[in-house]
Structure 1
């Protein structure tokens, strides 16, 4: 061969190899790094696991970076698997030559000679155990080194390495076998997880502890020889047995996790704002609640931290594992009728429009608003009531009286400016009484504004996500503060005294047909919203928001730490002495025309006159015309019997069952009928086991065992539990 031909071959051979490599690379692009798509881990704010989702093949993987793994594990991994990882370009020729020599000598594969990069190549693009397959793996490894840094390739290995069953990656293995995060691994645990990916089905410590210990000690021996362990450490570690801590991970906030997985399908990890400890205690509370709910009934609850607008706890169903209660339906986001829970924002808007102050005279009387005739829950009317009293007692006609003046379109437009959209065909007065649809999370977001100067802010549920949209002010600081005070002035239902006393503005709601029961409360730092009902929308007769959802809401408040922020009264809010029936300030009213006096919270000392039933201001000092006619028919004289120095008396709706007490036992052989009496003489609705009865008596022959008796008036109830025997 001439020198010229030799030089030509010498030059063309590398060129041919380069061209071949380019052609191969072009026709064989890198496959996806996670062939089955991402496996997603949902964590609480402290990184504790709430719920994990496998990839498309059902593989569970908790995505981590090298910084999140115990440094000793990384040292052991590189020393045992690929000590020249940071020096080679994907392939270690010395390792390959050693592996080839062993293959020739023994006639079978003793060691593969694979680097960590080559192992990643095999994991993303499996190949046959042949010479051709090995060459394919080498080409992929070089391709990986071309596109990615060493840190990225190491990260791929940490998350793709198999650890037995459907577990991949060091983080998932650490949680699976030792119930801890990978940065918490001990030296023995780290050594075991270094060798496990070599033969995960044969070295699994939960199935083959003896083999697993032997392979772990092999790694420890190699580390001792490499001076990563001293003699004392080595001899102490090899004596330890394999200590596993395998426990089933509890599902916390599972429906929130499902929602986030669906919304962010390509994310490996989602760290939420959920308080792990609070969520765990809330889950226990809802589980206890399920034991006293009727068949098919569920409950949901969400807790917001007002200053940060963060969701701190989220329970979409009463018990995620109870299929009989439609547990997989997320009632935090389900659209349902809100009952009376929108009423506070009708009053707040009326305050901002200068229509009322806190003690404005409103009319709770029969009324016809162009064919719409609202009724109260108990079917009765109270006549003249203050705005505060009407809101606290959730009277329907006064709320519609105000909404009619504001107009439903304007009311909804104000809410819509902050992204609060109600679900119905057309704006109408029935919206004020629940004739629309909304979500529990939306109500919580809305009520938070009462402790946030009237601002509605986007809610945060992910720690690394910053909402680009700013908060929107739908109420003034003055009206939100006055509404908060009006709602917080009412006493909570009878219950155990909470460990943390706090001021809570709260409102309940019961939807038409007894299908949804709501309670939303706001303290200075927290908003708690609760829903109780049947997800299939079947009715629960005899239940009320005040008796079902409100106790659950207050129990949730008991789980929270003390409030820290202050709600400062705006300077323009003042106490003003006003007169009825005019509604004006005392200083503007002749003494002989002030039939009763009230201390009202006013904005800028404004005291708008009283309205008639349809929302028009009265032009004289007398009672609104239709209210006066109602008083005359009822033969009630409020003016002559009321002192100028006291507030107008209002009906007393407190009630207590007087004929029996909880825990009493009755025998059908000795008694056939038990008459029911209460502290309130009339207008009482009676329920046995939450079913209404027409007469105030129990026919003992119809009941046996534990029996619940309820007496209700105007959404206030007393409940006693007795026991009936044969």
Structure 2
């Protein structure tokens, strides 16, 4: 008998194994014929967020539905409790469907002739969301099959996460995070108990339970959830009683789009991402956006502006404003001017001098010739159309003189400059490098200029800018390439940081800023780039359609915005230390060499220069050769004789307004007009009144009241006075 029982048991096991095999084959066949559809059938609804996770811009899916995907850990635990208790208490125990609930729902349907309760589990609801079906027996069978597939492919936590992100919450809102933000102005992580209870039930009938349209119905359903939680022992009855008395309180978030153009670019680059986390600092981005809203009021019609702010240590972009106002179509607001290729004007000059330092062609006080000169077929002119004769490298850079720059550029070689930029990953847009590149005869964008200028605070190293946030931010190291030596980059920083910004009031945060401006040919683009030890800020102002804006300069239009942006930034917590290879050396003019290597009778003027390792190359002739025997360059000497200039050191004259004093008060009853004069009567000076171009040489006081700002500029050097005009 025992043997018979063993035999019969073995046969039963074989039958069960056969049934299992048949079932597996059938399930596998069904899975091949009816594979699990895409979890997001209408594509992802993407949100672009700041480094802190704050929403910058939201993009709907192909149906226009907006959601913000979250993980279980990013959702309030009480909401999860309320959801599971009200919707699917056996979620973590059933295989995707609850047989008891299905039998009960079928019996109620048969008895009443209509659906009383759905009997759907959370898994089945996810199945319906990814693959909608008709409310029929065949539709329900299809839903059951999809639920089984979900349970096969995903863990319970993954299925619950899908529900959190796919559930409908009314209108074009899906997912609990978007709903929390839309209705309560908070994240799903920080929901109150009442908010959590309401959002737990809202997906049942989102169009009927919407709290913004039917607050009383929403309150009734919320209280139903609270009562269920009380019955289950999740919530004390006294707490539930207090909660039920509260009205539904909505606090919808009012979102102004931040960094909309960057968000658009990243969405296009990462079309399958649900959440794109940027490196932007939401606070800095908001302050920059508010600043440009004020700047817009002073810009001419159809003009725009763009701003980039970068963390020097990490090369992360902290603020990205591609246009002055994304909503103003009259200003070509949808054109991203951080990416637009334009002429950089004089903005490349510091790097030409920096490479010349590295090549041993010059030091900071090398004698240059600011005289009329033709470099092959190219005859550059200074912006003011005048010449100063003998100038130093530091003087030429600070005043942004063109002819001395081309003299150095000719000696360095445009091909060398272009090759070194390319080796560091910097590409200029041009057919062939030539001397015009030094004065803006090439194409660059704001991103390129920020990348370049950041090198002045990083020992001459260049790295690609980062706009996507990584889990563990690290200072940039492995991607950096050397553009300038640490000595040359520090020397350039030192020269640029000594340029005064005399039109500035006392800044909120005092910091050392090396800065340079640029104005493209034809007054089409106005640039200003500044570098502090911690941050790089770049500003472009102009018309996106490249129409000229005559009368403006980078120094008067873009530089004030750049300094205002710096005022929005936290304090610098870095310092730039002078490299050991930078030596302060006493040199002589006209020869340019160290005083110790110059005969006494040949040392007509002495200057302290910053040098690399004490190297003091001789003075350059205009055509690029070194002078011999510590003499004046022949062409410079001849020009100075023609203009009756004594061959000696030319003092560096700093532009100053002479006719008015800072804070001076004027009364119309006593005076009608005041003269506008400076300490440089023969220079071509551009005047600005209240930051607008002014062409007269006297100011009519009757046209003004209160504080009036007078600015005089020669090249990049400006001086400013504020006066008070009274009736």
- Same fold (TM > 0.5): yes
Instruction: Return the alpha-carbon distance in structure 2 between the equivalents of residues 693 and 210 of structure 1.
Output: 64
- Residues 1:262 and 2:268 aligned together: yes
SS, match of residue 291 in structure 1: helix
For normalisation by structure 1, the TM-score amounts to 0.92
SS, match of residue 298 in structure 2: coil
Of 319, 331, 343 in structure 1, the residue corresponding to residue 349 of structure 2 is: 343
Of 564, 567, 585 in structure 2, the residue corresponding to residue 555 of structure 1 is: 564
- Residues 1:391 and 2:397 aligned together: yes
Whether the 8 Å contact between 2:502 and 2:720 is mirrored in structure 1 is no
Q: 1:172 to 1:662 in 2, by over 3 A?
A: farther
**Which residue of the partner structure matches residue 683 of structure 2?**
683
- 1:43 Cα deviation after fit: 1.1
Mapping 1:153-192, distance limit 5 Å: 153-192=159-198
Whether the 8 Å contact between 2:503 and 2:718 is mirrored in structure 1 is no
**Which residue of the partner structure matches residue 544 of structure 2?**
535
SS, match of residue 245 in structure 2: coil
**Which residue of the partner structure matches residue 5 of structure 2?**
none
SS, match of residue 420 in structure 1: coil
Whether the 8 Å contact between 2:46 and 2:60 is mirrored in structure 1 is yes
Of 384, 391, 401 in structure 2, the residue corresponding to residue 378 of structure 1 is: 384
Whether the 8 Å contact between 2:530 and 2:538 is mirrored in structure 1 is yes
Instruction: Return the alpha-carbon distance in structure 2 between the equivalents of residues 601 and 723 of structure 1.
Output: 43
Whether the 8 Å contact between 2:71 and 2:161 is mirrored in structure 1 is yes
Mapping 1:194-205, distance limit 5 Å: 194-205=200-211
- 1:285 Cα deviation after fit: 0.7
**Which residue of the partner structure matches residue 650 of structure 1?**
652
Greater mean deviation of Cα atoms: 409-418 or 650-659: 650-659
**Which residue of the partner structure matches residue 481 of structure 2?**
472
For normalisation by structure 2, the TM-score amounts to 0.92
SS, match of residue 94 in structure 1: helix
Instruction: Return the alpha-carbon distance in structure 2 between the equivalents of residues 251 and 561 of structure 1.
Output: 23
Q: 1:33 to 1:662 in 2, by over 3 A?
A: farther
Instruction: Return the alpha-carbon distance in structure 2 between the equivalents of residues 568 and 555 of structure 1.
Output: 26
Q: 1:202 to 1:318 in 2, by over 3 A?
A: same
Whether the 8 Å contact between 2:186 and 2:253 is mirrored in structure 1 is no
Write the deviation string for residues 192-251 of structure 1: whole angstroms up to 9, x where unpaired. 000000000000000000000000001111111111101111111111111100132121
**Which residue of the partner structure matches residue 294 of structure 2?**
288
- 1:713 Cα deviation after fit: 2.4
**Which residue of the partner structure matches residue 597 of structure 2?**
588
SS, match of residue 611 in structure 2: strand
SS, match of residue 118 in structure 1: helix
**Which residue of the partner structure matches residue 714 of structure 2?**
713
- 1:376 Cα deviation after fit: 0.5
Whether the 8 Å contact between 1:609 and 1:617 is mirrored in structure 2 is yes
Write the deviation string for residues 435-468 of structure 1: whole angstroms up to 9, x where unpaired. 1111111111110111101100122211127889
- 1:613 Cα deviation after fit: 0.5
Write the deviation string for residues 401-444 of structure 1: whole angstroms up to 9, x where unpaired. 11111111110111111211001111111000001111111111
**Which residue of the partner structure matches residue 320 of structure 1?**
326
Q: 1:718 to 1:457 in 2, by over 3 A?
A: same
Q: 1:656 to 1:180 in 2, by over 3 A?
A: farther
Instruction: Return the alpha-carbon distance in structure 1 between the equivalents of residues 508 and 715 of structure 2.
Output: 29
- 1:24 Cα deviation after fit: 2.8
Whether the 8 Å contact between 1:350 and 1:356 is mirrored in structure 2 is yes
Of 601, 618, 621 in structure 1, the residue corresponding to residue 610 of structure 2 is: 601
Mapping 1:49-128, distance limit 5 Å: 49-128=55-134
Of 336, 351, 371 in structure 2, the residue corresponding to residue 330 of structure 1 is: 336
**Which residue of the partner structure matches residue 498 of structure 1?**
507
Q: 1:100 to 1:694 in 2, by over 3 A?
A: closer
Q: 1:307 to 1:222 in 2, by over 3 A?
A: same
Whether the 8 Å contact between 1:319 and 1:327 is mirrored in structure 2 is yes
Q: 1:699 to 1:477 in 2, by over 3 A?
A: closer
SS, match of residue 318 in structure 2: strand
Q: 1:468 to 1:653 in 2, by over 3 A?
A: closer
Instruction: Return the alpha-carbon distance in structure 2 between the equivalents of residues 301 and 526 of structure 1.
Output: 13
- 1:721 Cα deviation after fit: 9.7
- Residues 1:239 and 2:240 aligned together: no
Instruction: Return the alpha-carbon distance in structure 2 between the equivalents of residues 518 and 371 of structure 1.
Output: 28
SS, match of residue 60 in structure 1: coil
Greater mean deviation of Cα atoms: 200-209 or 79-88: 79-88
For the aligned residues, what is the CA RMSD? Answer: 2.9
Instruction: Return the alpha-carbon distance in structure 1 between the equivalents of residues 601 and 515 of structure 2.
Output: 38
- 1:652 Cα deviation after fit: 3.5
Instruction: Return the alpha-carbon distance in structure 2 between the equivalents of residues 505 and 447 of structure 1.
Output: 9
Instruction: Return the alpha-carbon distance in structure 1 between the equivalents of residues 577 and 359 of structure 2.
Output: 22
Instruction: Return the alpha-carbon distance in structure 1 between the equivalents of residues 18 and 590 of structure 2.
Output: 107
Write the deviation string for residues 510-544 of structure 1: whole angstroms up to 9, x where unpaired. 00000111111111111111111111111111100
- 1:696 Cα deviation after fit: 3.7
